[in-house]
Chains A and B, each alone.
Chain A
Amino acid sequence: MREILSGNEAIARGAWEAGVRLAAAYPGTPSTEILEAVAGYKDIYSEWSPNEKVAMEVGLGASMAGARALVCMKHVGVNVAADPLFTASYTGVKGGLVLVTADDPAMHSSQNEQDNRNYAKFAKLPLVEPADSAEAKDFLKIAFELSERFDTPVLFRTTTRIAHSKSLVELGDRPALAPITIFEKATDKYTMLPSNAIKRHPIVEQRLLDLAEYAETTLLNQVDMGDSRVGIIASGAAYQYAREAFSQASFLKLGLTYPLPAGLIADFRESVEKLYVVEELDPFLEELIELMGIRVDGGKDMLPLCGEFDPGLIARALAADDAPGVNTDLIPVPRPVDDDLPNRPPTLCPGCSHRGVFTVLKKLKVFVSGDIGCYTLGALPPFEAMNSCVCMGASISIAHGMGQVMAPPAEGAKLDLRTKSVAVIGDSTFFHSGLTPLLDIAYNGGRTLTIILDNRTTGMTGGQENPGTGKTLMGRPAPVADIPTICRGFGINRVIEIDPLDMTEVERVLREELAANEASVVIAKSPCVLEYKIKREPWSVDADLCNGCKRCLQAGCIALSLINDAEGGRKVRILADQCNGCGICAQLCRFEAIVAPGAAPAPGVASGSPAPPAVASAPGDIAAGEKGAS
């Protein structure tokens, strides 16, 4: 039976067909859908781990117990998991252990575009790369066999265009598995005391030599001889693009990209006139091939180091070197009709609880140390209220480091908010990597204000469960990790929960906590409108009161727009189908022109104290809200 599957769905299917018993991951684009699909196979235990390091260790544990285990993460997640990964290379495995690293060339949804193929060389692990969904499934099964045969974790690398592209896959079955009934010990192998590890290292080196020999004959690597004037070595998505651009050329398609088959590559070199290496990001293959003493006629001297490729880019680059047989349709570079079109960047949803906090932070002019999530959009106009964002959890530690080197205020001086750094972090990111930096602040007497935007989901990746949501990936009930209790347990005395849709309250509390001379945590608690399917009544504009001052537009909400009125002036209009009734724009309006639903005007707005408690408090009752499937 055939199905159209994404690369991620195909990996999940491959795990099921390979007899995987355990799968662990932390969500991260473009890897997230693997575990979401695995969760559909009820005979695999699957979990969202709090972070990638934990996921890697959980996978290693299952492997040590004799089970096949799948661990998945985005490229930067492997940085987090690198500690167990590098030593797992020494311990080896019992059950097959495969780590999927989903790289993101072009940074569609990432903070860098690191090339994780380098991890294979660094950690001395075999690297398998599929080029479409069928290979994603079939190669994953081979990767598990490789893992067990060579006693090694296997890196399985996809990129966004493999993970999120769909193509045809032939489905297979899952083997019957004997239950695991006892933990067998292999202490010398798994206890990495120096005296044991020193014996493992030569085994690792020999394993690479054995794998290089295997690479010469494995069907993961395929030679497809065509026109011998052009030979192309490629893997993954780059292979598909190159094949589209030079469909008649000779190809050495590598599915095992580390270690490389020196003999196979040398033979291919001999059989073609010109040899090109086509790879996105780093010259990983090219450098390894040149180190073998094999001449490469074109690689990173012709193709970019940055971003992702497409067939046209490869066609143009190699045609410029007079490579024959190019698909000439791909050569022209079309120009946009207009290059001055307004961008359509991602934006906070109408009704999003992050909006009020960033509107206030912009006003306060503090240094905002940000983190990874939907709320990173607070860095974009009109908020522009985020001044750094590096990696998961770094908001808190960076703000702390900044705070510790700021000169103390002069005696009796008025508080200057520009001397303050504030950390902003979401709930899932806090559980991932925010706990230890907050512990650092408490332990070392930091004075940083940390704002935890607790919207009860892992928003940016599509609303996955986390330790704060009360449910697991497999849909089982779970205890809800209590953030205020955690913070107090660390030794933070000032822990305050606020409603982020009440801007007056947000500003009052933030000013008070910034003035405090000790560490403080403010938890802005309001559920994600998207994931919990919260739909509030839309607000409206009283056109007689609106003078077109545009102050409300600072809310950065796509439900608001400027229209021309009859007198040639401009007014704001609220699109009822877009508005989600949070009332932030009304709180920005100085003319009481934005009117609450069912009131004309709303009492709170008319009185000049524009907090919208009736609107904001209802969705705050998380227990009553049913989280939507997404």
Chain B
Amino acid sequence: MSSAEQGAPQSATGSGPTTNLLISGVGGQGVVLASYVLSQAAMAEGYDVKQSEVHGMSQRGGSVTSHLRFGGKVWSPLITPGTADILLSFEALEALRYVHWLRPGGLVVYNTLRVNPSPVAAGLAEYPADIDERIKAAWPRVHAVDANALAEEAGSVKSVNVVMLGAVSCTLPFAAETWETIIRRVVPPKTVDANMRAFDLGKRSPVC
């Protein structure tokens, strides 16, 4: 047996349920950074964690999703459609597009911002008008957040993702200090204050 083989990992046998959080948005909105904060928070709180996203073509203004799973022992990096506990969407249409990934009774927290997809910009399709009603018809636990307005109030339009993290934070078992430590660590140094304000403004949204 080689030396490296002796260090080969064994299957962990943790227990406890897995929380499934699906994040959706538009390429460029900071879905990846938000997922990073969430996965770091889950690790800091002692959970096993897996997170999955796709890079490449989808970055070019396309629809983006990120899967975050944490709990005792997490196997699959992917959430199975119909089993997500929370859908956190940074854009309205992208909430409607992925809402069926939720389990019955799952929670939707979405940003009311509307970003035209290219077929709408090209005049080939219409942006759906009644997104909130359509989501509520199937998943009544819905919270709409005007995250772009809150991000501007916080002092950085780019902090929309952190506003959304603040909005959903009360539903997750992560301590306030954990959130703060990680956000301070991962955002650009010059934007720490704006991002902390963004998180607090998001937290005031009445999700819980």
Contact = CB atoms under 8 A, between A and B. Distances in A.
B115 interface: yes
B76 A141 contact: no
Interface in A318-369: 329-330, 332-338, 341-349
Contacts of B82: 312, 330, 332-334
A342 B125 contact: yes
Nearest to A163: B55
Contacts of B58: 108-109, 346
Contact of A330 (B54, B59, B80): B80
Contact of B77 (A161, A247, A336): A161
Most buried by B among A344, A377, A558: A344
Given A311-B76, A382-B124, 13 more contacts: A29-B57, A132-B77, A138-B7, A164-B54, A167-B50, A310-B78, A312-B82, A330-B82, A346-B60, A349-B61, A558-B121, A561-B120, A561-B121
A445 interface: no
Contacts, number: 216
A528 B83 CA distance: 40
A381 interface: yes
A460 B80 contact: no
A141 B4 contact: yes
A462 interface: yes
Interface stretch (B92-100, B171-179, B200-208): B92-100
A461 B11 CA distance: 34
Given A224-B11, A337-B99, A347-B62, A165 B120 contact: no
A132 B59 contact: no
Interface stretch (A237-245, A389-397, A483-491): A237-245
A33 interface: yes
Q: Across the A-B interface, give the 3 residue pairs with the lowest CB-CB distance, nearest first.
A: A109-B56, A29-B56, A165-B77
A312 B80 contact: yes
B123 A562 contact: yes
Most buried by B among A29, A311, A347: A347
A560 B55 contact: no
A374 B55 contact: no
B9 A330 contact: no
A535 interface: no
A418 to B, nearest CB: 25
Given A166-B39, A337-B138, A560 B81 contact: no
Given A165-B77, A337-B138, A142 B57 contact: no
Interface stretch (A60-68, A401-409, A549-557): A549-557
A450 B122 CA distance: 28
Given A310-B78, A342-B127, A345-B118, A334 B100 contact: yes
Interface string B30-62: 000000000110010000111111111111111
B105 interface: no
A30 B55 contact: yes
Contact of A377 (B60, B94, B99): B60
A341 B93 contact: yes
Interface residues of B, number: 67
A580 interface: no
Contact of B96 (A145, A172, A310, A337): A337
Interface string A1-22: 0101000000000000010000
7 contacts: A164-B55, A167-B48, A240-B76, A241-B75, A344-B94, A344-B118, A460-B56
B8 A311 contact: no
A338 to B, nearest CB: 7
B49 A167 contact: yes
A334 B84 CA distance: 11
B79 to A, nearest CB: 8
B183 interface: no
A347 B60 contact: yes
B27 interface: yes
A219 interface: yes
A218 interface: yes
Nearest to A32: B55
B123 A344 contact: no
Nearest to A74: B56
A461 B93 contact: no
B27 A346 contact: yes
B21 to A, nearest CB: 14
Contacts of A132: 50, 77
B167 to A, nearest CB: 22
Interface in B123-140: 123-128, 134-135, 137-138
Contacts of B16: none
B8 A166 contact: no
A151 interface: no
B120 A346 contact: no
A310 B1 CA distance: 34
